[in-house]
């Protein structure tokens, strides 16, 4: 039976969609679940056995992070559609990520969401922006050795602006770090470009890093 050009195109499109879906799932596993598990490891490693009260709290926090990892795995299909993010709104979704980062006890974080953000956001863009935030957090956790993080989110002249600054070890931006750190930074730029935006990464060895993302919004 001969397959028409239309049917062939349809089959090819379906395969491309499936491939893209698997890539998206892989990225989400890296960004979200990986972040939670890294935080769990950091929290457990920071336990001081000579302080029973603090040790107990760290263990409870680690249990919470583990349970959230399980929940995120179950909700992954919904997250790909942005259901959970839409319900929360972008500023609150970022606030929850900040809260989990702070609970590790490793970071002091200042988060300033602008009051001028549009009440009605853009679910597709929100999801990608949220993933960018998670990618930046991932790089900080795994590579920056930072203790302080500053996050600003505002909306001006039809653009949403995100700024994330850390006081970590920094790096030379003329050549991206090798390995997964470089891949993560490339992903940030690619994701911003997908929705018509731009990501600028500024850093110097010993001077921390700054990622600024500007995206037409909504």
A 10 A CB-CB count for 50 gives 6
- Of the candidates 146, 126, 45, 130, which has an alpha carbon nearest to the alpha carbon of residue 96? 130
CA dist., res. 118 & res. 131, Å (int): 19
Predicted confidence band at 113 (pLDDT cuts at 50, 70, 90)? very high
Within 46-179, residue ranges assigned H as helices are: 52-81, 83-88, 90-102, 123-139
Q: What is the pLDDT of residues 54-86, one digit of tens each?
A: 999 999 999 999 988 887 777 665 545 545 555
Pick the range with the lowest mean pLDDT from 15-19, 96-100, 121-125: 15-19
The pLDDT score that the predictor gives to residue 198 is 97
Choice among 16-20, 85-89, 94-98, 101-105 with the minimum mean pLDDT: 16-20
Domain with 70, as residue range(s), is 5-216
Residue 15's pLDDT is what? 57
Q: Compute the mean pLDDT over every residue in the chain, rounded to the nearest whole number.
A: 81
pLDDT for 176? 66
Strand 108-113 and strand 148-156: the pairing is parallel
Residue 210 confidence (pLDDT) above 80 = yes
Say yes or no to pLDDT of 9 above 60: no
User: What is the C-alpha separation between 48 and 45, in angstroms, rounded?
Assistant: 9
- pTM value is 0.65
- pLDDT tier at 19, thresholds 50, 70, 90: low
C-alpha dihedral (195, 96, 176, 190), degrees to nearest 10: -10
Q: Residue 115 has what pLDDT?
A: 78
Please tell me the distance from the alpha carbon of residue 67 to that of residue 62, in angstroms, as a whole number: 9
**Per-residue pLDDT at 203 exceeds 90:** yes
Pairing of strands 198-203, 209-216: antiparallel
> Within 13 A of 192's CA, how many CA atoms are on the CB side?
25
Q: What proportion of the chain, given as a percentage, has pLDDT over 90?
A: 37
* 31-40, 134-143, 206-215: range with highest mean pLDDT: 206-215
- CATH number at 136 reads 3.30.565.10
Confidence of residue 13 (pLDDT cuts 50, 70, 90): very low
Instruction: Extract long-range pairs of 81-84: CB within 8 Å, 24+ residues apart.
Output: 82/123, 82/124, 82/126, 82/127
Number of domains in the chain: 1
List, in order, residues 6 or more apart from 14 with CB less than 8 Å away.
Answer: none
pLDDT reading at 7 higher than 60: no
């Amino acid at each position: 039976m001969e397959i028409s050009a239309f049917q062939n195109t349809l089959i090819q499109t379906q395969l491309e969609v499936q491939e893209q879906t698997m890539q998206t799932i892989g990225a989400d596993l890296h960004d979200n679940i990986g972040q939670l598990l890294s935080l769990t490891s950091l929290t457990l490693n920071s336990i001081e056995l000579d302080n029973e009260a603090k040790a107990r709290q760290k263990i409870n926090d680690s249990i919470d992070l583990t349970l959230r990892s399980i929940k995120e795995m179950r909700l992954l299909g919904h997250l790909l559609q942005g259901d959970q993010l839409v319900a929360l709104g972008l500023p609150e979704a970022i606030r929850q990520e900040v809260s989990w980062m702070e609970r590790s006890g490793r970071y002091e974080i200042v988060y300033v969401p602008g009051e001028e953000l549009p009440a009605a956001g853009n679910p597709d863009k929100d999801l990608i922006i949220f993933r960018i935030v998670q990618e930046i957090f991932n790089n900080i956790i795994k590579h920056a050795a930072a203790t302080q993080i500053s996050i600003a989110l505002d909306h001006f002249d039809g653009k949403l602006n995100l700024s994330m600054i850390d006081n970590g070890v920094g790096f030379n931006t003329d050549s991206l770090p090798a390995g997964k750190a470089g891949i993560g930074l490339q992903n940030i730029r690619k994701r911003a470009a997908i929705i018509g935006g731009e990501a600028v990464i500024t850093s110097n060895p010993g001077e921390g890093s700054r990622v600024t993302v500007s995206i037409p919004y909504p």
